[in-house]
Amino acid sequence: MIGMPRSSQVTRYREIVSVLARHGFGWLITELDLRNMLPLGDRLFPAQMEDAQDRTQALHLRLAFEELGPTFIKLGQVLSTRSDLLSPAYTAELAKLQDAAPTVPYSQIATVFEADFGVAPDEVYAEFDQLPLAAASIGQVHAARLHDGSEVVVKVQRPGIVAAIERDLEVLLDLAGAIDKHTDFGRRTNVLGLVEEFAFNLRCELDYDREAQNVERFRLAFDGDQDIYIPEICWAQTTSRVLTMERLHGYKVTELEELERAGIDRRQIAANIVRLMMEEIFVHGMFHADPHPGNLFVLPDGMIGMIDFGMVGYVDERLQESLSRLFLALSKGDSERLMDEMYYMGMIGGQVNRQTLRQDLDHLVICYVNQSVQNLAAAGIFSELTELARRHHVQLP
């Protein structure tokens, strides 16, 4: 079903197919007619591929992504946020990939500096901690100090990661096209479109100059805001593979006991975060696309600090207006208007049964529209909305 891969892709295809087979996804390999990519033993004894079928598929998908490396780890992280596409078992398991990346030895980090700056990290900074603060699928973060004494964090890209990711993206795009063409799930979901969006965003993340520009846009947008703080970029120590930024000290938004001990008003923090997210989208037309707790800090003075701007989304005026009308219809309990707006935004295709979707929207509205604000649980509403979207194959933008 998939055309013959280029010679440069064959080895990677075989690695991917073998890992998927070992983790119980033989059904997908058979459906895509990729069994010729398996080792001879697995083709002769297919029962060995099926042994894992009795185990939890979500667990094995996560293990397969870990084994396949950075591109697939990143894909799993993105899918872990798509509860409109995947069941809670999958999103919960894939969320564990946030901590899956191994660290890179300092010797390899030093080679990046030698190539980009012509000198070792110790000459670029007054101090550079060789042990990383954190490791991610694309790069890792080190603490450092500038020659003027300023504390900074330095994100350094993994050597060779660009070539590895480009190779994997070619394979993923081929597989996504085949899934759309030959499986019911693909025809309902537009997997190719999802992978194309993933590829675009991942390529943007590979350019740290672009990320630095994202930070500057947010600094300008929230300049003078008394509740939101965006760190400063150190341009002299930044390249396409090295990003140096002011270091923020504070608490994660999930560290509730620490916030209490520091005397910080949690209700005000919650209000500031909601305002931040609303202003991003409806005032500035852009948003931080990876706002997990590790990227949102509460500073000692109670301000919200944001980091990691590798993934930033943009919302044009038309989509801003559509989202406003959608929220207004939801707040008024107008399920018909709500469904019309979803059609207008391209969220509902021809395969959606309008009558059953209307019934489910009516039920959602009845459950929530007359509730007091105190009794509303945002997580519960979002969970029901995404489950509704998944059940009716609604494509969330």
Task: Specify whether 290 is catalytic.
Answer: yes
Q: What are phi and psi of 233, to 5 degrees?
A: -85, 140
| Ranges of H-type helices in 139-247 | 161-182, 184-189, 191-205, 208-221
Find the angle CA(93)-CA(67)-CA(295) to the nearest 5 degrees.
50
Contact yes or no for 278/284 (Cβ under 8 A): no
d(CA 200, CA 210): 13
Other CB atoms within 10 Å distance of the CB of residue 47: 8
d(CA 256, CA 17): 44
What b-and-e string marks burial along 244-272, b requiring 16 or more CB atoms within 10 Å of the CB?
bbbbbebbebeeeeebeeeebeeeebeeb
**56 to 81, 151, 365: CA distances (angstroms):** 19, 45, 35
Dmax (CA) for the chain in angstroms is 67
State whether residue 379 is helix, strand or coil.
Answer: helix
Q: What are phi and psi of 221, to 5 degrees?
A: -65, -40
**254 to 6, 100, 248, 269, 286: CA distances (angstroms):** 47, 20, 16, 11, 24
Question: Which residue in the list 290, 308, 334, 360 is annotated as catalytic?
Answer: 290
Closest CA to 70 of 154, 166, 155: 166
Q: Which residues carry out catalysis? A: 290
